[in-house]
């Protein structure tokens, strides 16, 4: 049985040092360090510079652009374990590979399942914030290790309450209803949800319902992810057509790929994000809620093996995904995927 906080090392992957320091400070834990670089042939060198023996090691790695750093993350986990860590956890404020959750066209990899199997095979626990659980009920449908799913809506709500007068919280699509309703309820603001049709990776249409009853309000577009940015760009373009001011944008995961931030910014009054993904727009810190989750998990992790379940057979995974969308009836956006 382990004790909460006893022998815990917060160990950041490159680019996560600031967040890891905040976590360590919030929990009163040791912050560690590792060294990693590329060999001339492109392979990864990795060395853990801190003593991990008998400690609970929390590797901190936001997973935006995961293909660039996933192997070194797995190498770090394996190294920590082989150096005697008593448990190795993944703290991933942004959890990648949650959006390809079905085989939309024949032959596609269901990467959310594959990624979950890889993570589950290397870590004892996963702690993350607002994973994109659109068609999955919970991370336990994917991950075979214990997981903690945290929510940034209360923190975004508090930022909006402190910084925006008369906000109207707007979600760009039906799925965002869960976040915008939670934000609106916390601060007593009205909310509305737009209609989105996705045609491809960088191609969405947004339609506004009649929002005239809230015309005096400051629109605040809230969503879980800004990736290509097209969802928010299209929504921000539509609002002035109904006489609204330029919106404030508040997102949990500000990935802002492909210069999308620069394209979105002129359409907005202000853009803010949580620090789940490091970005200049970060205005809402998550370290305190993640530190609480680590401490809470440490209190009941006496037998992590007890929580583990075996991975699902791959055949079942693939069958489940493809049966939901047979080739004769693909979803509408598959034609425009680039």
CB of residue 217 to ligand PRP, shortest distance in Å: 21
Binding residues for ligand PRP, rule CB under 6 A, total 16
Handedness of CA 148, 154, 155, 157 (dihedral sign): positive
CB of residue 139 to ligand PRP, shortest distance in Å: 15
Give the CA-trace dihedral at 114, 118, 119, 123, to 10 degrees.
150
The residue with tokens 């379940």 is: 309
Q: Which is nearer to ligand PRP, 71 or 207 (CB)?
A: 207
Using CA atoms, how far residue 281 sits from 208, 251, 261, 287, in Å, is 26, 10, 9, 16
Residue 258: phi and psi, rounded to 5, are 55, 50
As given in the structure block, the two tokens for residue 40 are 């001339």
Contact between 223 and ligand PRP per CB under 6 A: yes
Contact between 230 and ligand PRP per CB under 6 A: yes
CB of residue 218 to ligand PRP, shortest distance in Å: 21
Site stretch for ligand PRP (CB under 6 A), options 10-18, 25-33, 229-237, 302-310:
229-237
Q: Which is nearer to ligand PRP, 159 or 179 (CB)?
A: 179
Phi-psi region of 197 (alpha: psi -120 to 50; beta: other; left: phi over 0): beta
Q: Which residues contact 297 (CB under 8 A, 6 or more apart)?
A: 89, 125, 127, 146, 148
Q: Are strands 282-284 and 203-207 parallel, antiparallel or unpaired?
A: unpaired
Site stretch for ligand PRP (CB under 6 A), options 25-33, 67-75, 217-225, 263-271:
217-225
Instruction: Let me know: does 190 contact 214? Beta carbons within 8 Å.
Output: yes
CA angle 45, 47, 51 (to 5 degrees): 170
Sole binder of ligand PRP in the list 37, 47, 53, 134 (CB under 6 A): 134
Site stretch for ligand PRP (CB under 6 A), options 63-71, 73-81, 177-185, 218-226:
218-226
Q: Binding marks (x or -) toward ligand PRP, 192..211, rule CB under 6 A?
A: ------x-----x-------
Q: Which is nearer to ligand PRP, 134 or 309 (CB)?
A: 134
Contact between 21 and ligand PRP per CB under 6 A: no
CA distance 24 to 30: 6
CB of residue 233 to ligand PRP, shortest distance in Å: 8
Q: Which is nearer to ligand PRP, 54 or 174 (CB)?
A: 174
Sole binder of ligand PRP in the list 12, 146, 219, 229 (CB under 6 A): 229
Q: By CB under 6 A, name the binding residues for ligand PRP.
A: 99, 134, 172-173, 175, 198, 204, 223-231
């Amino acid at each position: 049985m382990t004790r909460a906080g006893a022998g815990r090392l917060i160990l950041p992957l490159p680019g996560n040092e600031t967040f890891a320091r905040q976590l360590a400070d919030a929990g009163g834990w040791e912050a560690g360090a590792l060294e990693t670089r590329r060999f001339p042939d492109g392979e990864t060198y990795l060395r853990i510079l801190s003593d991990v023996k008998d400690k609970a090691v929390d590797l901190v790695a936001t997973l935006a652009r995961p293909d660039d750093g996933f192997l070194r993350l797995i190498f770090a986990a394996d190294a920590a374990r082989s150096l005697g860590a008593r448990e190795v956890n993944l703290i991933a404020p942004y959890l990648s590979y949650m959006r390809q959750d079905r085989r939309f066209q024949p032959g596609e990899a269901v990467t959310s399942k594959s990624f979950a199997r890889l993570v589950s095979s290397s870590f004892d626990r996963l702690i993350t914030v607002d994973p994109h659980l659109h068609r999955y009920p919970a991370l336990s449908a994917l991950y075979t290790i214990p997981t903690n799913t945290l929510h940034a809506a209360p923190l975004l709500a508090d930022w909006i309450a402190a910084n925006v007068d008369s906000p109207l919280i707007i979600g760009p699509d039906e799925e965002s209803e869960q976040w915008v309703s939670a934000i609106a309820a916390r601060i007593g603001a009205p909310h509305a949800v737009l209609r989105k049709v996705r045609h491809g990776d960088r191609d969405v249409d947004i339609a506004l319902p009649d929002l005239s009853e809230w015309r005096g309000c400051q629109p605040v577009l809230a969503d879980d992810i800004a990736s290509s940015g097209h969802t928010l760009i299209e929504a921000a373009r539509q609002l002035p057509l109904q006489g609204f001011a330029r919106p404030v944008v508040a997102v949990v995961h500000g990935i802002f790929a492909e210069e999308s931030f620069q394209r979105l910014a002129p359409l907005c009054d202000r853009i803010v994000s949580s620090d789940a993904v490091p970005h200049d727009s970060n205005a809402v810190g998550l370290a305190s809620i993640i530190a609480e989750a680590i401490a809470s998990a440490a209190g009941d992790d006496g037998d992590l093996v007890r929580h583990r379940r075996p991975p699902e057979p791959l055949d079942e995974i693939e069958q489940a995904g493809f049966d939901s969308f047979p080739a004769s009836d693909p979803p509408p956006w598959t034609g425009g995927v680039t």
